[in-house]
Amino acid sequence: MRKIEDRSSKPKFPLRKVSHEDRVELGRKIASQILDLYREAVLAICIYGSVAKRLDRPYSDLEIFCVVTDNLELTSKFYVYDGLLVEIDYFQESKFLGEAAKKGRDWHLGADQFRNRIVLFERDNWLRKLEKVVAGNDRRDFTEELQNAAIGMTESLGAVRNAHFKRDHRDLRTRAFYLAWDTARVVFLHNRRYVLTTSWFWKQLFECQEQPRGFRKLIDIVAGFEKSTSSELVDAAEQLWRETMLMVQPRRISIESTDTIV
């Protein structure tokens, strides 16, 4: 006898279309609740991400950071409320300012959090501290981070070659996409540009002033946006690596050493 499938228990997509104004309004409600709970320990509460720049779309999430004094440690929250994905990141003051001061290999992905925001609350002009740290970060030299990013890109090219050597087509496509992503990191750092919203990642990448020769075409092949044979993919990956290394060469970026370094 054929079993009747019970479809009533199947999960439904939990998100609904939400306006920018409704996201901000919910942010204000959440900020009020945070202040009621933690009072004097709260130094700043801000909306960041796409909402802060009014780049949010119908199904975008609401991202909030809350900075508290160092004597309070809180766990960040991530959940769906009334069809809207909500993320509340709690940071102790010293840790938050420390993160804002860092460069790091993923600076291009994290920098926006410290630079664009809708202020829901701040105590005693606390955000001036953050702005001072960010200004110092913007003046720092990125040579070491750029060099590490170039080494990471070289590692990805090695993985592409290994996948091609063992004739693993799925692994080859995966490793090639990672190479495209690692190349983007190099180009963003080289141009000192950061991503405003992840949905604009590729758009902003191709808008960078300095790019490797034939960049967009090579990325389209290597990332899998354009159809290619395995041989064409590997050739494009090799060329993308070479052209990117030529781009950073004037910055005296060196990924090789004549001695072991410990």
Residues 199-228 have pLDDT tens digits of 999 999 999 999 999 999 999 999 999 999
| pLDDT (mean) for 122-145 | 96
Q: Counting runs of H as helices and runs of E as strands, what totals does the chain give?
A: 9, 5
Burial class (CB in 10 A: 0-12, 13-18, 19+), 207: exposed
Average per-residue pLDDT for the chain: 95
Considering the four listed CATH numbers 1.50.10.150, 3.30.460.10, 3.30.1370.100, 3.40.50.10320, the one that applies to the domain covering 20-139 is 3.30.460.10
Ranges of each domain in the chain? 20-139, 143-251
- A 10 A CB-CB count for 40 gives 10
Decide if pLDDT at 1 tops 60: no
Report CA-CA distances (Å) from 43 to 53, 119, 136, 197.
Answer: 22, 11, 21, 25
User: What confidence tier does 15 reach under pLDDT thresholds 50, 70, 90?
Assistant: very high
Helices 230-248 and 169-191 meet at what angle, rounded to 10? 20
Q: Is this model's pTM higher than 0.85 or not?
A: yes
CATH T-level assignment (fold) for domain 143-251: Four Helix Bundle (Hemerythrin (Met), subunit A) (1.20.120)
Decide if pLDDT at 7 tops 70: no
Q: Are 153 and 241 in contact (CB under 8 A)?
A: yes
Look at residue 10 in the predicted model and tell me its pLDDT. 85
What is the rounded CA–CA span in Å between residue 173 and residue 233? 8
| pLDDT (mean) for 136-140 | 94
